[in-house]
Amino acid sequence: MRPFDLNRALSMWRRAYRFNPAFSARDLDELERHLRDHIRHLHAEGLDLERAFHEAVFDLGDYRTADYEYRKVLWGKMRRLPTDYLDQSLAMLRSYIRLAYRSLRRNKTAAVINLTGLSIAIGVLVVCFVFVNRWFQVERFHTNADRIFVVGHTVERDGDEQKWVNSPLPLGPAMQADLPQVEQAVRFERYSTTVSYVRPDGERVADRQRLVFVDPAFLEVFSYPMVQGETSALTDLNSVVITQTFANKYFGTDDPLGATLDVALTPTLTRSYTVRGVLDRRPQASSIPFDVLLPFQTYDDLLADEADRDAWTQSVTATFLLLRTPEDVDAVAAQMDRYLALHNAVASEWIYTAFTFDNLRDLWRIVQDVRGEIAFAPPTQIFILITVISLLLLTLACFNYVNVALSTTQRRLIEIGIRKTLGGEKRHLVVQFLTENVVLCFLALVLGVMLAQAFLLPGFNALTGTALVIDYWGSTQLWWFLGAALVVVAMASGMYPAFHIARFEPIAILRDRQRLGHTSWLTRSLLTGQFVLAFITMFASIALVQNAQYQAQQDWGYDKEHLLMVPLEEARHYGPLAERLQQNPNVLQVAGTRHNFGENWGWATLDVDGIQMESVRFDVGTNYLAAMNVRLREGRMFEPDRQETNGVVVNEALVRARGWTAPIGQTFRVDGALYTVVGVLEDFHFFAFRHTIRPAFLRLIDEAAYTTLVLRTRPGTAVQTYDALAETWASFHPDVPFNGYFQDTVFDAYFAGNRRTVNVFAATATLTLFLSVMGLFGLAAQNVARRKREIGIRKVLGAHLLQVLGLVNRSFLVMIVVAFAIAAPLAYTGLGHLLDAFYAFRMPIGPDPFVAAFALIALAALATIATQFRAIAHANPADVLRAE
């Protein structure tokens, strides 16, 4: 016989209690301690261990009493203590999750439909979040972000107040000197020019770059991470600080620090700068683009007249102020009157009405409404559009969930009935169904994030030309968002079905009197609603595609074909180049210009009989209008042999704006100079079709100001001429690459933007249709499954399969027609507004998008319903009827 082992005996004793939930592990510890104390006591009195053990266990009392007493305490505790209640709840939760898993497995079709729909919707939501959140985080990485303000000003133009973010050149230094609240003032001036670098192997890298002249404190006020070099780098007048992106492009793997960059400051002045620092501009977190930073002193040097360096008439792109505290902004704003006076005293053409202050973090929000080129951000409509789209898809997915949940309940009625009979309360059932839904939503969330990472975000980037990434660990916002999304989606989709299902009376269920699903008005209206949305998005994308085609075929108001443009390095090259090219038989016309339609223009404030108005200004060469083939309405164009002193040509928009009935001979002043209208041109498009045609006037300039050479080529010889031109160019500038292009490409960026809009809509329409069709599929499948008996009987009585299919699904077809009837008028008005919001020149909405959308969606719906054909065909009436 084995000797008595106390520890073993105790663990045997403990085993009897271990799985009794009334005893916690700590309770058992305490009891065991008691036993041990008692045993030791008895052992000390002379009993052997084994007898002592049995005696002690006997004294402890019997199992049932202990169980009863402990249980009483436990129940008492459950009423009071949330922590222990949590234990119990967790056990329940485990059971719910197990049930959820089983029910999902049992109902695979429904699970797949819900999972796919919800995960796509959540994936889109994640993309939306990443897109929107990027902008809400913009510029926040600067340590001083809350204290950095940009100074702007307002002016009154055409009776409206305009806001500009540029400011007078001397303002920054003056404020820093005068106002104690201003810790630092940093001027910021944009400049775009060619920057070149000669690699050690002799190869020359050159490209146009976004240059910025900044005061040296820029690097200290802002917190761009320095990859190399110090924040004091710009104090040296010959130093340059570049961005990481620029460094990668120009230097590759070479060390950029200490390298020499050649900057073409003007056509005749190129200066060398030494790279003293490389910074990470954090393009994902910033709205202020630049490639190269140069000391502001250089800009001062560029100003021709030394007096301009502190002239209030000169302006810089932006002045940033670093204030001592964010609240100082009011105090600073209150002291601006003296600067207003200083500026307005010398700039009578451009009277400031006030200075404005905007925090750095808000810059992206205001850039759409202010003029200036400091920061760039997508227009507000895009944010609204993308948010609406993602919420729309989410709604659709939730509709699917509700519909499928309601229609599958039929199968679970018995389960519900039995649960209720066995004492399951309504709230338990609600919790059970909601848990099932949370489990499903959680799976969908995981899948959705994976989808977003793998397909949706790359797709979105490709469609819209962005470079967004999901930053999982960089911030907690994403996780908060996902958590909130889980709760909201689970509640939005699960609440109604859960309460609806939990409401049934067991007696009705078990007596088979409860019927639901196929008659539910909710199911019907949700499905109809889905198809309404599918129709609307489909209309919209078809209409946008058509509109894009319509715009591509629009007349630009001049002959854009066969026009070859050559940007000139220097104006003095125009003469010899033009002379050489005129000898080419394929060249019909040669002209020079400074501004070119669709590409660049100037602005001018016209003074017409004392009334100020804004107008676009084109500075052109003599032959430009003839070469462009602009149509003349009245008067004359510029003539080569006439010495034009103050004659200008205007467009019809300007004539309309002024209400001139006899425009020829009318006069206006610009900056004091008097101009006389000699000709009126038919309106032509110089902005793309998004904007109306603004009033514009064209004036003649000297050959010395030409920046572009214009060639009209003989039709069909474009390529030959281009090549010939490139050769001619090479003989003039062996170093500079030939940059000629055709005029019909100047709106390419606009059309590309258009295509992106169309793409976003088309993707939305596809996803919407997909989700709706999935919902329809789910309902149709459930419907067939539920009506097996009816189908069986109909088949026995000799009904044709197609007939059965039609009969069973008639209600769905009705819903689609109803959806179309609701969607069509909504879409018609909505589309008009949408197109108006996007485009000043848009196509009239015809019947085509409606016909096309209806055909497409009806076809998709029919195909979906037809998938049930197999289920019906394979249903053996004998089986169905016998099963009953």
Site residues, another protein (CB under 8 A): 10, 26-34, 36-38, 41, 59-62, 65-66, 69-70, 72-73, 76-77, 80-81
Nearest to 400 by CA among 491, 494, 503: 494
> Least distance in Å: CB of 79 to another protein?
10
For residues 61 and 715, which CB has a smaller minimum distance to another protein in the complex?
61
> Least distance in Å: CB of 30 to another protein?
5
For residues 35 and 543, which CB has a smaller minimum distance to another protein in the complex?
35
> Least distance in Å: CB of 77 to another protein?
5
Place of tokens 């609600």: 430
Give me the torsion for CA of 860, 861, 862, 867, rounded to 10°: 90
Distance CA 815, CA 518 (A): 13
Distance CA 502, CA 277 (A): 68
For residues 4 and 479, which CB has a smaller minimum distance to another protein in the complex?
4
> Least distance in Å: CB of 85 to another protein?
13
> Least distance in Å: CB of 48 to another protein?
18
524-529 long-range CB contacts below 8 Å, 24 or more apart? 524/811, 524/815, 526/399, 526/402, 526/403, 526/775, 527/399, 527/403, 527/772, 527/775, 527/776, 527/779, 527/812, 527/815, 528/815, 528/818, 528/819, 528/822, 529/399, 529/819
Give me the torsion for CA of 748, 751, 753, 757, rounded to 10°: -160
> Least distance in Å: CB of 4 to another protein?
16
> Least distance in Å: CB of 489 to another protein?
39
Angle at the Cα of 305 (from 303 to 306), degrees rounded to 5? 90
Task: Please answer whether residues 448 and 397 qualify as being in contact, where contact means their C-beta atoms are separated by less than 8 angstroms.
Answer: no
Give me the torsion for CA of 308, 313, 316, 321, rounded to 10°: 110
Place of tokens 């919902």: 775
> Least distance in Å: CB of 24 to another protein?
10
Place of tokens 């994640």: 126
Half-sphere exposure of 23 (CA within 13 A, CB side): 20
> Least distance in Å: CB of 68 to another protein?
9
For residues 30 and 555, which CB has a smaller minimum distance to another protein in the complex?
30
> Least distance in Å: CB of 69 to another protein?
4
Residue 729, both tokens: 């160019």
For residues 4 and 376, which CB has a smaller minimum distance to another protein in the complex?
4
Residue 665, both tokens: 């001979």
For residues 25 and 303, which CB has a smaller minimum distance to another protein in the complex?
25
> Least distance in Å: CB of 32 to another protein?
5
Distance CA 206, CA 217 (A): 28
Distance CA 285, CA 133 (A): 10
Residue 8 neighbours by CB distance under 10 Å? 10
> Least distance in Å: CB of 71 to another protein?
9
For residues 64 and 833, which CB has a smaller minimum distance to another protein in the complex?
64
For residues 35 and 540, which CB has a smaller minimum distance to another protein in the complex?
35
864-881 residues labelled b (16+ CB within 10 A) or e (exposed): bbeebeeebeebebeebe
For residues 26 and 108, which CB has a smaller minimum distance to another protein in the complex?
26
DSSP string, 416-457: HHHHHHTT--HHHHHHHHHHHHHHHHHHHHHHHHHHIIIIIH
Angle at the Cα of 47 (from 41 to 51), degrees rounded to 5? 100
Strand partners, 273: 261
For residues 69 and 158, which CB has a smaller minimum distance to another protein in the complex?
69
For residues 60 and 311, which CB has a smaller minimum distance to another protein in the complex?
60
For residues 83 and 731, which CB has a smaller minimum distance to another protein in the complex?
83
